[in-house]
Structure 1
Amino acid sequence: MLTFENVGLRYGAGAETLRDVNFQIEPRSFQFLTGPSGAGKTTLMRLIIMALRPTRGLINIFGKDTAALSNEDVAATRRKIGVVFQDFRLLDHLTLYENVALPLCVLGREESTYRAEVIELLRWVGLGERAHAFPTILSGGEKQRAAIARALISQPKLLLADEPTGNVDPTLARRILRLFIELHRSGTAVIIATHDLSLMDQYEDARRLVLADGRLHIFE
C-alpha cells in the first residue's frame, strides 16, 4: 500500500529534516507515529499526502511512484486517503452535516445518494443529534469527531490522523481511539501521529514508528 525507500527531505541548503527513512504500510494495518516535538511527524504525513515531495528516495503509494504522478493522478490518489488534521479545518459557515458531506459534494454526487451515509456516520461518531449545528458552537471534542467523520465519508483505504486527541480529555481520547480501532478492523490502514504514550499503551497490537533525529525506528 505505502512504501518509503531511503527517503530524505531537505529545506533549502540546511541539514536534512528526514534522512534515510524506510518503512512499509500494509493494507488493514495500524500504527502509531511518535517522537519528540519537531521530530518531523507532520512532515512525514505531508509527504504521504504529496503536499511535499522528497529531496531524494522513493515513495510508492497504491502501487504508484509519487514522483511520476500527474496533478490529476495526485488528486485521484488523495481521494483514497482520509486525513484528520490537528486544527480540524471545519468550515464555520457549513453545518456538521454539510462539512462531512463536502468531499462527496465536491466529487459531484447527488445528495440523495449520500444523505443516509452522512447521517449514519455522524451517529457512529456520536454526533447524530448535532447534524445541523455549526462548528462555532461545538466543543473541541465534537469538532474532532466531526473531522474524523469527514475523513471517513469517502471510505479511504488509508487514514492519517495528526494528534487527533491533542485537544480532548482522556475519556474522550479513549473514545476517539476506539473509533480508529473499529475503522482499522473494518479494513482501513491507520496511521496516528501522537506524542501521547498513554494513548499508545491502550492498543498494544499497533506498530510504533518512532522519529528521532531525522531517522525512523520501527517497533513491532
Structure 2
Amino acid sequence: MIRFNNVGMRYGMGTEILHDVSFNIPSGSFQFLTGPSGAGKTTLLKLMFLALKPTRGLISVFDSNTAGLERRDMAQLRRRIGIVFQDFRLLDHMTTYENVSLPLRVRGRDEAGTRAEVEELLQWVGLGERMHVVPQVLSGGEKQRAAIARALIDRPEILLADEPTGNVDPPLARRLLRLFIELNRLGTAVVIATHDLGLMEQVDARRMVLDEGRLVIYD
C-alpha cells in the first residue's frame, strides 16, 4: 500500500535527515514506528501522507508512483489515508462532532445516516459529553482523542498516527490501542509512531526503528 525506495529528505539546504529509507506497508498490516526524539518520525509520516515530497528516491502509494502526480490526484490518494498529527489540526469554528464528521461530509455522505456512527465513536473515545463544544474549551488530551476519532470515522485504508496516546492516561491509552487493533482487524493498515515501550509490548507487531535518519525493521 505504501512503498519507499531509497528515500532521502532534507529541508531546504539543511543536512539530510532521512537517508536511503526503504520499506513497504502491506495491506492489512500493523506496525510501530519508534526511535529517539528528532530521529525523523514525524517527517517520515508526512512523507507517507504525501504532505511532503522527498528530496530523492521514490514513493509509491496504492500502486501509484507519486513523483509525477498532479495535486488533484494527490488529494484523491490522501482521502484514503487517515492521519493523526501531534498538533491535532482541529477546526476552531466547528464543534467536536462537526470536526469528527467532516471526512464523511467531504465524501458527500448523508449526515442523518451517519449521526449514530459519529456519536458512537465519540462515546468510545470518551467525548460523548463534549461533542457539542468547540476545540478551544477542550483539554490537550480531549483534542487528541477528537483528532483520533476524525481519522478513524471513515475507516481509512491506512491509518498513520503520531504519538496518538501521548496525552492520555494509561487506561485510556489501552482503550485507544484496542480501537486501532479492531480497525486493523477490519482491514486497515496501521502505523503508530510512539516512544511508549509499554504500548508496543501489548501488540505482536512489526517495529520500524528510526535512528539518525536510518531505518531498521524488526519483524
Same-fold status (TM-score > 0.5): yes
Paired AA for residue 133 in structure 1: V
**36-45 or 142-151, which deviates more:** 142-151
What residue is the counterpart of 2:166 in the other structure?
Answer: 166
SS in 2 for 1:166: coil
Paired residues for 1:56-75 under 5 Å: 56-75=56-75
Q: Is the 8 A contact 1:50 1:74 kept in 2?
A: yes
What residue is the counterpart of 1:15 in the other structure?
Answer: 15
Provide Cα deviations, 1:62-108, integer angstroms capped at 9, x if missing partner: 01001121111000000000011112222233211111111222344
**207-216 or 125-134, which deviates more:** 125-134
Provide Cα deviations, 1:192-214, integer angstroms capped at 9, x if missing partner: 111111211121x1110000111
Is 1:130 the equivalent of 2:130?
Answer: yes
What residue is the counterpart of 1:30 in the other structure?
Answer: 30
**170-179 or 57-66, which deviates more:** 170-179
What residue is the counterpart of 1:202 in the other structure?
Answer: 202
SS in 2 for 1:83: strand
Paired AA for residue 197 in structure 1: L
The change in CA–CA distance for 1:21 and 1:137 in structure 2 (over 3 A counts) is same
- CA distance, structure 1, for counterparts of residue 141 and residue 181 of structure 2: 18
Deviation at 1:160, TM superposition (A): 0.5
Paired AA for residue 187 in structure 1: G
Please list every run of 5 or more consecutive structure 1 residues that lacks an aligned counterpart in the other structure: none
**28-37 or 118-127, which deviates more:** 118-127
Provide Cα deviations, 1:121-153, integer angstroms capped at 9, x if missing partner: 223333334322333333333322211111112
Deviation at 1:189, TM superposition (A): 0.5
What residue is the counterpart of 1:176 in the other structure?
Answer: 176
SS in 1 for 2:101: helix
How many residues are matched? 219
Paired AA for residue 210 in structure 1: V
Deviation at 1:6, TM superposition (A): 0.8
Q: Is the 8 A contact 1:79 1:154 kept in 2?
A: no
Deviation at 1:165, TM superposition (A): 1.3
Paired residues for 1:96-135 under 5 Å: 96-135=96-135
What residue is the counterpart of 1:215 in the other structure?
Answer: 214
- CA distance, structure 2, for counterparts of residue 12 and residue 92 of structure 1: 31
- CA distance, structure 1, for counterparts of residue 27 and residue 172 of structure 2: 27
Is 1:3 the equivalent of 2:11?
Answer: no
Paired AA for residue 105 in structure 1: R
Deviation at 1:180, TM superposition (A): 1.0
**50-59 or 102-111, which deviates more:** 102-111
- CA distance, structure 2, for counterparts of residue 99 and residue 50 of structure 1: 22
Q: Is the 8 A contact 1:141 1:172 kept in 2?
A: no
Q: Is the 8 A contact 2:127 2:146 kept in 1?
A: yes
Q: Is the 8 A contact 2:155 2:183 kept in 1?
A: no
- CA distance, structure 1, for counterparts of residue 107 and residue 59 of structure 2: 26
**208-217 or 82-91, which deviates more:** 82-91
SS in 1 for 2:17: strand
**72-81 or 83-92, which deviates more:** 83-92
Please list every run of 5 or more consecutive structure 2 residues that lacks an aligned counterpart in the other structure: none
